Amino acid sequence: MPAPAISTSLESAKAASSRRASARFDLSGLDGDDPLGVLIAASGQFLDLSLDSEVQRIALLDGAAVLGWEAWHEAERRYGLGLIEAGLEAAIAAGQVRPLPVAEAALMLLGALMEAALQLTRAADRAAARERAGAALGALLEGLRA
């Protein structure tokens, strides 16, 4: 069990890092003609952000190890899940994505995004891994198309 001061400090750093990351996503087009395209682009932005060493260290690697999986996952849900839900809801409303249970689909997409990001932290060739992960996530999201 981590020391309380270290855990609290890392939790604060994780929350701040997640807030900054969430603010970087351009979701302005969700109310436009292509909300699914915006969601796919935001997924790519997340993967790009995951290449940053600070994000890798605080949000992906040390956060899970120090905070424990439950607290780490809750932070990811708090800062990322709402963005995914908003994207899915907009794409469904626009008729781009067939109706589906948004809460459950968003959790599954969050899991896919997090696993892709974790894979990037371990890749020998991160640029190539980023391209492969982006292609796979794009295909996954395109598969939701109505």
Q: What does 50-75 look like in DSSP terms, one character per residue? A: HTSHHHIIIIIIIHHHHH-HHHHHHH
> Per-residue pLDDT tens for 68-94?
778 777 777 777 888 899 999 999 999
Taking the CA atoms of residue 53, residue 56, residue 57 and residue 61 in that order, the dihedral angle to the nearest 10 degrees is -150
d(CA 113, CA 116): 5
How many CA atoms does the CB half-sphere of 38 hold within 13 Å?
Answer: 23
Task: Supply the pLDDT for residue 14.
Answer: 46
Supply the pTM of this predicted model: 0.75
Residue 140 CB neighbour total at 10 angstroms: 16
> Per-residue pLDDT tens for 5-52?
544 554 555 455 545 555 556 666 667 789 999 999 999 998 998 898
